[in-house]
Amino acid sequence: MSKCLSCSQAGKGAFCKFGPQSRAFLQSNSVKTDYVRGASFFREGDRSNAIFLVCSGKVKVSATSREGRVMILRIAQAGDVLGMSAALTQSDYEVTAEALEPCSVLVLPTRHLMTMLQNFGDASLAAANVLAEDYRAAFDEARLVSLPSSPAGRVARLILDWAQDAKSRSNPFITMSMTHEELASMTATTRETITRTLGRLRKEKIIETHGVVLKVLQPQALERLCAC
Amino acid sequence: MSKCLSCSQAGKGAFCKFGPQSRAFLQSNSVKTDYVRGASFFREGDRSNAIFLVCSGKVKVSATSREGRVMILRIAQAGDVLGMSAALTQSDYEVTAEALEPCSVLVLPTRHLMTMLQNFGDASLAAANVLAEDYRAAFDEARLVSLPSSPAGRVARLILDWAQDAKSRSNPFITMSMTHEELASMTATTRETITRTLGRLRKEKIIETHGVVLKVLQPQALERLCAC
DNA sequence: CGATTTAGGTGATGGCCATCACCCGATCGA
DNA sequence: TCGATCGGGTGATGGCCATCACCTAAATCG
């Protein structure tokens, strides 16, 4: 695997696998930028003017209602690209992207993105793959929130998703580095319900927690709860 | 606007605006297929092997939980393309596509899609736009279900979205050609709640219905209800 | 170090809505 | 023409969970 020049990592992201031409174009037309924890790349409703290639750090992607209710769509990491949909359709950003950790990012202005897509076939395909990932994240979120019939079920579903993810990395433990508040935003419920639901799952020996580490003891019980 | 050869319509969809080369390729490598009402193009979990260009008819795009709960993602129409994400990532279909009316469709096998994307720049861009639309549909659904705090709020939100849509076609009336059951599937609630909520909105003179035609009398009241 | 903020835990309460059950009218099919 | 099916309407009920309120411990910070 070739290295992603800008990240100096073996990139897994769609934009890390460019050929020499598109890579050179990307390098000379994007600006490397650093964000401190809490800083926003862009906010919901802003006019879109660039896409953001995450080189390091974690990024919270969310949308907010006027009343202040927050929906967390996903947590983006190195290799992910943010703002592609808004840039392609030349519309406002539909989400807010905010650094959860200090982040290093390549910022590629929309006009250069367009040039790149028109000139380099591999870039077009990469853009399509980025959008396919964005779509899956949104679809999974919709599914997570729509299908289980209760908040408790959604929490169960979320834990199951994590478990599957951990399993795919052959790790029996889940590292849950999110606050109850954030979990509530991902499952369309409230902080108190998260606290109580996790407490109940612990008491019923369905899960086990040690600090941020979580272990699933009875996957079937979780599946029964979410029923999806 | 050039005609979409296969639909013989002035196409609005991304795949209706091809140049002569890609259009010819599409024509000679896809198969025109008709589906009767109720027939499935593909079902959730099927191995993906083609994309589907809707030429006429309406298509319900949905996902189902094991327990039978249904989430309707969107209703696709002429010009829309279905199955792009699964084809691009060479994975199983993540949704079920089902004809709500007799449908005429161009079916393009995945291998030909890949060839097309590699050879024609406009096709790659069109694919990216299709994915951007898919993403927006999923995002909007997630937002609709996540942000309003109650089922009644989600119904209000849905009606507001329709109203905006109707307004953009400068039409004061909304044609609601869906059953209460289907509305429930779009708002993650139950048929009874839909019936009762619509009844309440009627009684409070917030909306007015005559058969399938719906008119919003007090948009502000709806916004207060959904609070998003 | 004291003050403040943040994360998490918990009790009380009340309303909403999922569920079950049943009914009615319209449409359809044989 | 008559069941059968489907879409829609409605009552009763009970449980879940959103909301509010308050508390504790830990972290942060001046």
* CA dist list (Å): A207 to A20, A54, A79, A156, A161: 48, 33, 31, 10, 14
Query: Residue-wise pLDDT tens for chain A (228 aa)?
Result: 344 555 555 567 888 888 888 999 999 999 999 998 889 999 999 999 999 999 999 999 999 988 788 999 999 999 999 999 999 999 999 999 999 888 999 999 999 999 999 898 889 889 999 999 999 999 999 999 999 889 999 999 999 999 998 888 888 889 888 999 999 999 999 999 999 999 999 999 999 998 889 999 988 889 888 776
- Cβ of B73 within 8 Å of Cβ of A136? The answer is no
**DSSP SS3 for B3:** strand
Q: How far is the CA of B11 from the C1' of C15 (A)?
A: 49
Calculate how close chain A gets to B64, using CA atoms only, in Å.
8
Instruction: Identify the DSSP state of A211.
Output: T
CA–CA min distance A9, chain B (Å): 23
Q: Look at residue B2 in the predicted model and tell me its pLDDT.
A: 42
The span from the CA of B118 to the CA of A168, in Å, is: 31
Stated as kind and residue range, the H or E segment containing B4 is strand B3-4
Whether the CB-CB separation of A46 and A87 falls below 8 Å is answered with no
Which of the 174-213 residues on chain A come under 7 Å of nucleic strand D at their beta carbon?
Answer: 189-190, 192-193, 197
Chain centroid to Cα A129, Å, comes to: 15
Contact A142 B118 (CB under 8 A): no
Nucleotides of D under 7 A from a protein CB: 6-12, 16-21
Q: Is the CB of B92 under 7 A from strand C?
A: no
State pLDDT tens for residues B139-157.
999 999 999 889 999 999 9
- What's the pLDDT at A224? 85
B181 touches strand D (CB under 7 A): yes
Residue A198's φ and ψ, nearest 5 degrees, are -60, -40
**Strand ranges (DSSP E) for A59-154?**
59-64, 70-76, 81-82, 96-99, 103-109
**Any strand C atom closer than 7 Å to A199 CB:** yes
Percent helix, strand, coil in chain B, to 5, is 45, 25, 30
Statement: the CB of B179 is under 7 Å from strand D: yes
In the prediction, which pLDDT does A7 show? 57
Global pTM value: 0.92
| Paired tokens of B15 | 């795949």
Which residues from chain B sit within 8 angstroms of residue A138, using beta carbons? 135, 138-139, 141-142
Binned at pLDDT 50, 70 and 90, residue B9 comes out as low
As a whole number of angstroms, the distance between CA B174 and CA B201 comes to 15
Are A139 and B138 in contact by the 8 Å Cβ rule? The answer is yes
Q: How far is A45 from chain B (nearest CA, A)?
A: 14
Res A115: pLDDT: 95
Interface of A with B (CB under 8 A): 63, 65-67, 69, 71, 73, 84-85, 88-89, 94-95, 117-118, 121, 124-125, 127-129, 131-132, 134-136, 138-139, 141-143, 145-149, 188, 227-228
- What is the number of helices (H) and of strands (E) in chain A? 8, 13
* Amino acid B6: pLDDT: 54
Q: What is the pLDDT of residue B171?
A: 87
Residue B72: how many other CB atoms lie within 10 Å: 20
List of chain A residues whose C-beta atoms are within 8 Å of the C-beta of residue B148 = 65
Residue B16 or residue B32, greater confidence: B32
Arithmetic mean of pLDDT, B35-61: 94
Distance, in Å, from the CA atom of B37 to the CA atom of B55, rounded to the nearest integer, reads: 15
Look up residue A39 and give its two tokens: 């800083």
User: Distance, in angstroms, between A143 CA and closest chain B CA?
Assistant: 7
Q: Is the CB of A208 under 7 A from strand C?
A: no
User: Are A67 and B228 a contacting pair at CB < 8 A?
Assistant: yes
3-state secondary structure B141-186: HHHHHHCCCCHHHHHHHHHHHHHHHHHHCCCCCEECCCCHHHHHHH
* Cβ neighbours, 10 Å, residue B151: 18
Q: What is the CA radius of gyration of chain B?
A: 19
Query: Which comes out higher in pLDDT, residue B219 or A135?
Result: A135
Look at B89 and A129 and tell me if their CB atoms are within 8 Å.
yes
The integer distance in angstroms from the CA atom of A192 to the C1' atom of C13 is 15
pLDDT at A10: 54
Query: Three-state SS for A3?
Result: strand
Q: Please give the pLDDT value at position B135.
A: 97
- What value does the mean pLDDT take over residues B106-116? 96
pLDDT tens for B179-214 read 999 999 999 999 999 999 999 999 999 999 988 899
> What separation in angstroms does the CA of A33 have from each of A14, A55, A104, B29, B223?
20, 10, 6, 45, 39
Chain B neighbors of A66, CB-CB under 8 A: 227-228
What pLDDT does B3 receive?
Answer: 47
Q: Which of A79, A185, A114, A82 lies closest to B135 in space, CA to CA?
A: A82
Which residue has better confidence, A132 or B66? A132
